[in-house]
Amino acid sequence: HPEFFKDINEVKDSFKNFIKKLKGSKILIVNEDSAAIGEILYELKNWLKTEGVKVIGYYINNKLEFPFNTEYRVKLNSNTPEYSSFKVISEDKENNFKIGLIGQHNVQNSLGVLIAALELGVDIDIIKNSFENFKGIGRRLELIANIDEIKVFDDFAHHPTAVAITLDSIRLSYPGKKVFAIFEPHQLSRTKLFFHEFATALKKADRVIITRPFLGREANKNLEPVDLDMLSDEIGIN
C-alpha cells in the first residue's frame, strides 16, 4: 500500500519496527534476493547482535555478505505447468523438493515456510509431502479456464513487481507460447505512483488489454482519473 508511505525509507522503517517486535527465542528468516532486505539487515546489524537474534538467510540468485547463523542456497531444477522442483543446500546437506506451484517467487515464498517448519522441528518428509500436494490458493496464478489449449490464469498482482513476476512465471512454465495480459489497475494512487513501472512490467506480455481501474477504498475520494491511453502508449504494444 505505497500510498501510506512517503518514500522507500518509510517502508523500510516499518519493517525495522516490525522486526524489533520479536520476543522470546528470536528467529529472523529473510530472503537474500531482496536488495531492500539486505539494507535493513545492515542497518539493524548491531541490534540483531545485541538482542541475540538468530538470523537465517536463503537465496536463489543473490547471496548477501552478512554473518548469518544459518544459510540456505537454492538451485531451481525445473518448472513445468504443474509444479516447480528445487534443491535446498545448507552446509553439507542437500534435499530436493517439489511444490505444486509455478514461478520462482512461489519457490522463494515456500523457502520461508520450509525453514520456519524446520526450526519448529517438523519432519522433513512431512514438509516434502505437504509441498508436493499444495496446489495454491485462489487468485494467485489460479488456472480458471482451459479451452482449446488456451489457458486463463487469474492473479491478484496489484503492484508492478508482482505483475512482472507473474508474467515471468508464465513465460518460464509455458515457453514459446503467446502471453496476453488483461490488466485491471487497482487504486488510482497506486497506478499513478507506479505509472512507468507498470508500463515496463506489462511489456513482458505479447498483447495487453487495460480495463477501467478498480477504485476500492478510493471510490469516494474524487481523485483525478488515470490517463490509460498514455499508459497504453508507454507500453508500446498492441
pTM: 0.90
Q: What percent of the chain stands above pLDDT 90?
A: 93
| CATH numeric code, 2-133 | 3.40.1190.10
11-40 per-position pLDDT tens digit: 999 999 999 999 999 999 999 999 999 999
pLDDT of 2 higher than 80: no
- Identify the pLDDT of residue 238: 58
Q: CA of 118: how far to CAs of 22, 122, 192, 236, in Å?
A: 19, 5, 42, 47
Q: Residue 157 is inside which H or E element, if any?
A: none
| Delimiting residues of CATH 3.40.1190.10 domain(s) in the chain | 2-133
Q: How far apart are CA 238 and CA 234, in angstroms?
A: 11
Q: Are 18 and 44 in contact (CB under 8 A)?
A: no
| Delimiting residues of CATH 3.90.190.20 domain(s) in the chain | 142-235
Mean pLDDT of 173-183: 96
pLDDT of 237 higher than 90: no
CA-wise closest residue to 115 among 90, 142, 78 = 90
Q: Are 235 and 208 in contact (CB under 8 A)?
A: yes
Band of the pLDDT at 200, cuts 50, 70, 90? very high
141-160 per-position pLDDT tens digit: 999 999 999 999 999 999 99
Mean pLDDT of 95-109: 95
Neighbour-count burial of 111, counting CB atoms closer than 10 A to its CB (0-12 exposed, 13-18 middle, 19+ buried): buried
Mean pLDDT of 169-192: 95
- Identify the pLDDT of residue 1: 76
Residues 6+ apart with CB under 8 A from 209: 180, 181, 182, 183
Q: What does the mean pLDDT of the chain come to?
A: 95
- Identify the pLDDT of residue 136: 93
Q: Are 209 and 183 in contact (CB under 8 A)?
A: yes
Mean pLDDT of 80-89: 96
pLDDT of 104 higher than 70: yes
pLDDT of 3 higher than 90: no
Residues 6+ apart with CB under 8 A from 28: 19, 22, 48, 53, 54, 55, 56
CATH topology for 142-235 is: Protein-Tyrosine Phosphatase; Chain A (3.90.190)
